[in-house]
Structure 1
Amino acid sequence: MPTILTQLSTEPLTAERTWTVEEIPVLTASVSLPTPAEGASGAAARRIRRYYQLQSRAFLRYCQRWLLPEAEAEYRAALTASAPLPQLRAELSYQVTYNEGGLWSLYTQSRERGADGRTLLTRRGDTWDLASGYPVPLAAFFPRRCGWKKALLAAAEAEIRRREAAGAARWNEDWRRSLRRRFNPENFYLTGDGLAFFYPMYALAPAASGIPVFTLPYGAGGPALPVRETPEETAAPPAR
């Protein structure tokens, strides 16, 4: 019987590229994404390795297609104004947040400077089933027909009101409407404390707040981690 993978050991997959204009560096992009550690085999390891290899290449293509023209324009404007030459930088990194019981969860996050000079953060959540080698959808952590979206939105609204009352954060005036309109069921990851779901930067709050993240604890009325059978549990009972 094949071994059921309960955890995934990974190491960073790194890459860096610098673009120049007239032999002057104007843009540097760096990537650090996970890849299964040397010796990891099986369908899950192959799919995960391939997935983040493609994400790395896609990010570098994005930098070349969209950020490089902006960097070149800033370079030429600086030359005209006899100002210091800019060198823009874009980064893509990751953080593993859960790695137990056959579930491997993380988020990847890019950081770049926008045309207006402000930093833009973009986050993406991934949760993998190590037994099948495929991503797990958000709905899988809730009972059927339980109204999980309503529960998540209610938890986010309660947390926003709590932070408002404590004076711990500022929110956009239309955050109530954006809470529902900007909700994306793909924007989540698991943590040891509960299921974390998040919104894009600027969707609910000013830039200083970064990416708004809310966590719904596991347990009654909340998300539940799937119970996975061990090989001993799935084996046939001994003959009598």
Structure 2
Amino acid sequence: MQTIYNKTLEDTMYYRTIPVFVYKINYPFFTTTCNADAGRQISAYYAAEAKKTETHCREDLFPLAVDSAGYRPSNQPPFHSYTLDVVYKITYNSACITSLYMEEYTFMGGAHGATIRTSHTWDFISGKQFELKDFFPDNPSYQQSIFENINAEIAKRQAAESEFYFENYKELVGNTFNPKSFYLTPDGVVIYFQQYDIAPYANGIPEFLFPFKMKNALHST
């Protein structure tokens, strides 16, 4: 079993007296009763990724914010600080398996920011990640089955007018599908798409639950 602790890298960066860029990067740190070396390895992975993101903030995004703020020497109208925020959610944590997703929200001016989601499902015995195909045993055509189920679900949602998708969503589902874009929940596997992949911004990040054979897939690992 894993215990998760939150760690954070954060700073407010100034140009003259103007806070032009603010970042807050949350990331997980793990202890585990399964394999301590695997726990350290996985924790080190997230610490390194957080440090990379912090370097990106300081070396790439902060200069862009300074350039924008430099056009307002008197800070009138007041400059709206650019931001980068990273949060994560643990979606499954049982025995020696932990699944989570991370969302990086960046605002660099404009009407709204952008969110990018990444996800990982870890085996804390081996220290390796599970792949999506691990949860579709004995189905070599699992991706085609996924597409068919997602397209059918989208059609239902559109018929109910609960969500709206681009007209050519069937083509887009196939073109933008990423086998790494999944996470586990106690109810099954959730496959997701990024903003704008298959639907307008207002839809956020579309998600699709596959509750099939979840327990069997986990017990076979």
Change (3 A) 1:82 1:115: closer
Whether the 8 Å CA contact 1:27–1:68 is kept in 2: the answer is yes
CA distance change for structure 1 residues 138 and 195 in 2, over 3 Å: closer, same or farther? Answer: same
Matches within 5 A, 1:81-100: 82-100=76-94
- CA-to-aligned-CA distance 1:143-173 (integer Å, 9 cap, x gap): 2443111121112111111110000112122
Amino acid at match of 2:117: R
Does residue 1:130 correspond to 2:124, yes or no? yes
- Post-superposition Cα deviations, 1:106-130, rounded to whole Å, max 9, x if no partner, equal 0011111144332201100100011
Say which SS state the counterpart of residue 72 (structure 2) adopts.
helix
The letter of the residue matching 1:125 is: S
Stretches of structure 2 lacking an aligned partner (at least 5 in a row): none
Provide structure 1 residue ranges, at least 5 long, that are not aligned to the other structure: 1-6, 230-240
Q: TM-score, normalised by structure 2?
A: 0.91
Q: Is the contact made by 2:32 and 2:39 (CA closer than 8 Å) also made in structure 1?
A: no
SS of residue matched to 1:200: coil
State the distance in 2 between where 1:101 and 1:161 align.
37
- What CA RMSD, in Å, does the superposition of the two structures yield over aligned residues? 2.3
Equivalent positions of 1:201-220 (< 5 A) are 201-219=195-213
In the aligned structure 1, how far is the partner of 2:106 from the partner of 2:140?
39
Q: Distance in 2 between matches of 1:224 and 1:201?
A: 32
| Contact 2:18 2:79 survives alignment (8 Å) | no
Q: Are 1:167 and 2:140 matched, yes or no?
A: no
* 1:187-229, Cα deviation, whole Å (9 max, x unpaired): 110011110011111111111111111111123xx78423158
Matched, 1:30 2:28: no
Instruction: Classify the secondary structure of the residue corresponding to 1:131.
Output: coil
CA distance in 1, matches of 2:186, 2:166: 30
Matched, 1:177 2:168: no
Other structure's SS at 1:77 match: coil
- State the number of aligned residues: 221
Between structure 1 and structure 2, the one with the greater Rg is 1
Equivalent residue, structure 2, for 1:75:
69
- Give the superposition deviation at 1:68: 1.6
CA contact (8 A) 1:142 1:223 kept: no
Letter in 1 for 2:218: P
Residue 226, structure 1, aligned to residue 218, structure 2: yes
1:88-145 deviation digits (Å, cap 9, x = unpaired) = 2210010000112321100011111144332201100100011111111111112244
In 1, the alpha carbon distance for the partners of 2:35 and 2:14 equals 39
Q: Which amino acid aligns with 2:86?
A: L
2:219 & 2:32 partners in 1: Cα distance?
28
* Match of residue 235 from structure 1: none
Q: What percent of counterpart residues are identical?
A: 27
